Amino acid sequence: MKGRFIAAGLLIALALPAAARAADLQRAEEIVGGRCFLCHGMEGEAASALYPRLAGQHSEYIAKQLGDFKSGKRKSDTMAGMAADLTPEEMKALGAFFEKKPATRSTTAEPDLAGVGRYIFTKGNPYSGVAACVSCHGAKGHGTPQLPRLAGQQALYLENQLKQFNTRERNNDNAVMHSVASKLTELERKAVADYIATLD
């Protein structure tokens, strides 16, 4: 009899986290349907090349960025407003929601430009001191929970972020990006962004 109570208790204990996760994801879907979808789409696919694709992005990274927008550490009037009333739990739930979505990628209209980008992504530029992107973001651009997944990201969005790292408009993340971005030419920025957008 005692064994049955213990077994039942274990089943309940195991079921509670699963139920909580389902509730969290349901709440995340409500938030996405109420505000995020306007720019990022319900599936995290992004409504425009100006906005980042969130599908497949690391949940911890998304939660951190939302926290940084809310605190003002990462500057964006639009995102500061969107994140203003989110709780840390909701930020984590949103991260988990988008991480589960299948990532997409783009094709390039300029294979030669993407070829230059591939070189920079994999080898960097030893002549100007630009580090290879793979050294932090991995050979496939999938990143880590602390470093963003780049693979398949919108090329224009990536290019704009590199510009913001260079001008220090964006300074909430790894300072290494300031150094990398400051050494990239406009052509290299466009090239590496174009190549990364094709990765899956």
pLDDT tens for residues 86-107? 999 999 999 999 999 999 999 9
In this model, does residue 70 exceed pLDDT 70?
Answer: yes
| Domains in the chain with CATH codes | 2-99 (1.10.760.10), 111-196 (1.10.760.10)
> How do residues 23-40 score in pLDDT, each as one tens digit?
699 999 999 999 999 999
**To 5 degrees, how large is the angle CA 87–CA 42–CA 80?**
40
The upper half-sphere exposure of residue 6, i.e. CA atoms within 13 Å in the direction of its Cβ, equals: 3
pLDDT at 6: 61
pLDDT at 16: 46
Q: Mean pLDDT throughout 114-123?
A: 98
pLDDT at 100: 97
Question: How does residue 174 score in pLDDT terms, banded at 50, 70 and 90?
Answer: confident
Least confident span in 11-15, 38-42, 86-90, 192-196: 11-15
Residues 6+ apart with CB under 8 A from 98: 32, 40, 44, 54, 55, 56, 57, 59, 62
Q: Which contiguous run of DSSP H or E holds residue 58?
A: none
Q: How far is CA 165 from the centre of its chain?
A: 16
In this model, does residue 11 exceed pLDDT 80?
Answer: no
